[in-house]
Amino acid sequence: MAYDLTVIGTGPGGYVCAIRAAQLGMKVAVVEKRATHGGTCLNVGCIPSKALLQASERFEEAGHMFAKMGIKVSAPELDLPAMMAFKEEGINGNVKGIDFLFKKNKIDVFSGVGVIEGAGKVKVTSDKGEAQTIETKNIVIASGSDVARLKGIEIDEKRVVSSTGALTLEKVPGHLIVVGGGVIGLELGSVWKRLGAKVTVVEFLDRLIPGMDGEVAKQFQKTLGKQGFEFKLSSKVTGVDTSGKTLKVQVEPAAGGAAETLEADVVLVAIGRVPYTEGLGLETAGVEKDERGRVKVDGHYKTNVDGIYAIGDVIVGPMLAHKAEDEAIAVAEILAGQAGHVNYDVIPSVIYTFPEVASVGKTEEELKEAGVAYNSGKFPFMANARAKVNNTTEGFVKVLADAKTDRVLGVHIIGPEAGEMIHEAAVLMEFGGSSEDLARTCHAHPTRSEAVKEAALAVEKRAIHM
């Protein structure tokens, strides 16, 4: 059987691309080497981490907030196997959803490792060693990314773990050392902190979350510090001695200097992710990669080889599931002769800690560096009625608007539910809206979203509740 399109990898990039292409009338095959579809995101990433963040947040709430609200319960007890089962149930439900969607859209599934033998040919080898070759008009590579390793430190996924092992620990570590103060370190650090671990984050830079608006990052670090996170900034881990019962972790100043040894039960290595192209046959097919090992594509996701395209974590850009999904739709539409397009200026990003941190568009630092004159409006949740009555007043909303045109260039929120609230800013920015548009949009009372309207009003120094 010859296909119009064969997609390698069924993560958020691959499975969405397959569905959109099928909707557009293409005959589509997908190739996946993992036992279940959904890729990193669904199996060992976004979904399991959010299940544990949800469960651990409720655990903490039951211990600290219920009594304050007049709900008397005995001190919550952790049943970690049950919490892990809750996580698995969430994964399985979503995995079944993708299986259903593949059937519904008449997409053929090939299980095994896909190797590109050249334009129009993908060889699939199953885990039993059986091989078959798919003939296909086009190929989309959606092979995702893998954990970045730290030289000299071996990940055993038991005591020295990547995010994958940190999602399946069998008991709460007494002391968890997180290498890397990025998104994974702070989300999974939050999970284990809430469940009782002491958490120390060792970060190479002098701040958390590089790329995040500086003012937000400062507030975020302060808030996490209050929760009990310990930070060793401008520091690096140079070795982990696993020979004893406790791990001995060598920590050095990033700039060099005297090392100290910290003891830990578990070390989580979370220093970023790297594109995954191993065994894809890119060299044989003549597909070029860039200096960072990413598949090189043009503005239409086409590689240097006709008929071969790539999307998601394996190409340039933020390693986010929704970025992969939007590229998936765009490339399917391009293959169908339509004008598929992704607006990279409006890709929201969310950190699902408590409080959440969400942003879309430019940071103040980026605007300054680009020499763009801007006005800033800021509104604290402390002055928001709903936040006050819910007793969750940490954080603020910041709206950055072009000084000349008032067009909104960036919105940054730190506070509970920030990840849901950011989307009104994304829609506004997609339509090229101004802070005046946002300020004149009626927002329901009492909602946390009123803080977004107030921040927009604050751009012209006319916030009402401040």
Which partner in ligand FAD, ligand NAI, none is near 312 (CB below 5 to 8 A by kind)?
ligand FAD
Contacting residues toward ligand FAD, per CB under 6 A: 8-14, 31-34, 39-41, 45-46, 49, 113-114, 142-145, 163, 184, 276, 279-280, 312-313, 319-322, 324, 352
Residue 293 near ligand NAI by CB under 6 A: no
| Cβ pair 293, 124 in contact under 8 A | no
Q: Which of 204, 227, 296, 347 binds ligand NAI (CB under 6 A)?
A: 204
| Cβ pair 455, 398 in contact under 8 A | yes
Task: State the catalytic residue, choosing from 412, 423, 445, 465.
Answer: 445
Site for ligand NAI (CB under 6 A): how many residues?
A: 27
Distance CA 196, CA 80 (A): 12
Judged by beta carbon, residue 140 or residue 237, the one nearer ligand FAD is 140
Which partner in ligand FAD, ligand NAI, none is near 384 (CB below 5 to 8 A by kind)?
none
Residue 202 near ligand NAI by CB under 6 A: yes
Binding pattern for the stretch 234-273 against ligand NAI, x by CB under 6 A and - elsewhere: --xx--------------------------------xxxx
User: Quick one: which segment of 111-119, 179-187, 302-310, 423-431 binds ligand NAI (CB under 6 A)?
Assistant: 179-187
Which partner in ligand NAI, ligand FAD, none is near 265 (CB below 5 to 8 A by kind)?
none
Full 3-state SS string of 106-147 = CCEEEECEEEEEECCEEEEECCCCCEEEEEEEEEEECCCEEE
User: Quick one: which segment of 121-129, 133-141, 257-265, 345-353 binds ligand NAI (CB under 6 A)?
Assistant: 345-353
**Radius of gyration (C-alpha) of the chain in whole angstroms:** 24
432 is in an annotated binding site: no
9 is in an annotated binding site: no
The continuous run of DSSP H or E covering 323 comes out as helix 321-335
| Cβ pair 456, 399 in contact under 8 A | yes
412 catalytic per annotation: no
| Nearest alpha-carbon partner for 397 in 461, 465, 450, 344 | 450
Distance CA 21, CA 136 (A): 13
Residue 224 near ligand NAI by CB under 6 A: no
Judged by beta carbon, residue 48 or residue 410, the one nearer ligand FAD is 48
Distance CA 379, CA 452 (A): 8
Judged by beta carbon, residue 6 or residue 349, the one nearer ligand NAI is 349
| Cβ pair 56, 190 in contact under 8 A | yes
| Cβ pair 314, 141 in contact under 8 A | yes
Judged by beta carbon, residue 78 or residue 205, the one nearer ligand NAI is 205
Which partner in ligand NAI, ligand FAD, none is near 153 (CB below 5 to 8 A by kind)?
none
Strand order in the sheet with 349-351: 349-351, 356-361, 408-415, 396-402, 374-380
Q: Which of 100, 318, 368, 369 binds ligand NAI (CB under 6 A)?
A: 318
Residue ranges of alpha helices (H) inside 39-182 are: 39-44, 46-64, 80-104, 163-166
Which partner in ligand FAD, ligand NAI, none is near 143 (CB below 5 to 8 A by kind)?
ligand FAD
Amino acid at 287: V
CA distances from 23 to 20, 254, 302, 307, 347 (A): 5, 51, 21, 20, 24
307 is in an annotated binding site: no
Residue 93 near ligand NAI by CB under 6 A: no
Residue 352 near ligand NAI by CB under 6 A: yes
Distance CA 153, CA 161 (A): 10
180 is in an annotated binding site: yes
181 is in an annotated binding site: yes
Main-chain dihedrals φ then ψ at residue 231, nearest 5 degrees: -120, 135
Which partner in ligand FAD, ligand NAI, none is near 179 (CB below 5 to 8 A by kind)?
ligand NAI
Instruction: Write down the residue that tokens 């293959």 correspond to.
Output: 335
| Nearest alpha-carbon partner for 209 in 229, 185, 225, 227 | 185
282 is in an annotated binding site: no
CA 434 to chain centre: 28
Kindly state the smallest distance separating residue 183's Cβ from ligand NAI, in Å: 4
433 is in an annotated binding site: no
Kindly state the smallest distance separating residue 37's Cβ from ligand FAD, in Å: 7
Cα 137-320-219 angle, rounded to 5 deg: 170
Residue 312 near ligand NAI by CB under 6 A: no
The continuous run of DSSP H or E covering 441 comes out as none
Residue 274 near ligand NAI by CB under 6 A: no
Kindly state the smallest distance separating residue 315's Cβ from ligand FAD, in Å: 8
Q: Which of 152, 196, 210, 228 binds ligand NAI (CB under 6 A)?
A: 210
Going by the annotation, the residues of the binding site for FAD are 50, 114, 313, 319-322
Annotated binding site for NAD(+): 180-187, 203, 272
Tell me which residues are annotated as active site.
445
Residues that bind ligand NAI (CB under 6 A): 150, 179-185, 187, 202-205, 210, 236-237, 270-273, 318-320, 349-352
Binding site as annotated, residues: 50, 114, 180-187, 203, 272, 313, 319-322
